Homo-oligomer: A and B are copies of this chain.
Amino acid sequence: MSVEKTKILLIGSGGVGTIASYALEYAGKSEVTSVLRSDYNKVTEKGFSIDSCDYGQIDSFRPSHIAKSVEDSLRYGPFEYILVVTKSVPEVGSMVDVIAPAVSDNTAIVLIQNGIGIEGEVITKFPKNAVLSGVSMIGSSNIDSHINHEAPDSLKVGVFESNKAVKDVTQAVCKKFVEIYSNDKNSCVYDESVKFTRWRKLVYNATLNSVCAITGVDSGRLEVFGGTDSIIRKAMREVLAVAKSDGVELPEDVIDFMIRSDDPVYYAPSMLIDVHKGNLMEVEVISGNAVRIAEKNGVSAPYLTLLYELLKVIQKKTMEKKGLLTVPKERPVPK
């Protein structure tokens, strides 16, 4: 008896997304359709080249199907899972409308994305669908359809609390996803407390990642220059307080764990790389949502708040440079 493979739609084939599609295909239980934009021609012709700490050297990898757009992908559906592995930059648009054509009643949506409170919009738009929370720990980049996968793929997947209406279903759907994603090279586990895991990752992203982006130095220099002790510890303590107000009690020692997590490398976190490349950063889902939760719950978080306000200004500067925003020719002045 041949088992039919699970159909999966992948949105976002960067460093993380492409390794996800490889992991799924390698496990052999699913059939991945990947929506590609800038990489479409190159990958259709030559495939991705992959240099992976988990899978070794792969000269040419193509997922089962490649589509030019979500509309174009529908011929390979219907999809049981849609994996969203894009950067979240709500300032320039939402994923919700993009994926809508591919969402049917039985589609589960898996958000493998940074930040906290990222599920609200998806759950509002698709209230009857299972929406899963994926927190990825991986080091992987896509430069011109070459994937450089440096740190092992470790994925935790769980159920968003606010997705309770369909929770029983969701849990089963989640466990199935873990089953089809897992293989002998990677680590993928069902995470009972994925909210904890998400907040835990934010301890790094809302502080070290953000401050490196603002100051323009890597996490090693930040420490050598005194910023880790003067800024990061205080900001991390604020993240712990906000998480607590959101029902997640992180242990105090997560602070030193995160501060040491880049050892022994002068490591440039993702937002610093974004700044250097002139790309937009994931400001709103990382800092913005944390600050909004702090405000809602009456938690004092002046460092997180100011870092967020500074990041927003830098983000707008990037938007102006990218032509996504125009500043009036004459400076607006009150009458």
Contacts and interface: CB of A to CB of B under 8 A. Distances in A.
Contacts of A320: 221
A252 interface: no
Residue among A211, A310, A330 with max Cβ neighbours from chain B (10 Å): A310
Contact of A215 (B231, B310, B332): B310
The number of chain A residues touching the other chain, given as a range, is: 35 or more
A316 B225 contact: yes
Contact of A309 (B223, B227, B313): B227
A316 to B, nearest CB: 4
Given A331-B265, A331-B266, A334-B260, A310 B214 contact: yes
A93 interface: no
A221 B302 contact: no
Contacts of A309: 226-227, 230-231
Contacts of A226: 309, 312-313, 316
Given A220-B331, A306-B231, A306-B303, A313 B215 contact: yes
B225 A313 contact: yes
A216 interface: yes
A3 interface: no
A276 to B, nearest CB: 13
Nearest to A230: B309
Contacts of A263: 331, 333
A224 B328 CA distance: 9
A88 B227 CA distance: 22
A264 interface: yes
Nearest to A312: B226
Contacts of A313: 211, 215, 217, 222, 225-227, 231
A230 to B, nearest CB: 4
B215 A317 contact: yes
Interface of A: 211, 214-217, 220-227, 230-231, 260, 263-266, 302-303, 306-307, 309-310, 312-314, 316-317, 320, 327-328, 330-334
13 contacts: A217-B316, A220-B327, A224-B327, A224-B328, A226-B309, A227-B309, A231-B306, A231-B313, A260-B334, A264-B331, A302-B303, A303-B306, A306-B306
The 10 closest A-B CB pairs, nearest first, are A302-B302, A220-B331, A225-B316, A227-B313, A215-B313, A230-B309, A263-B333, A264-B333, A225-B313, A231-B309
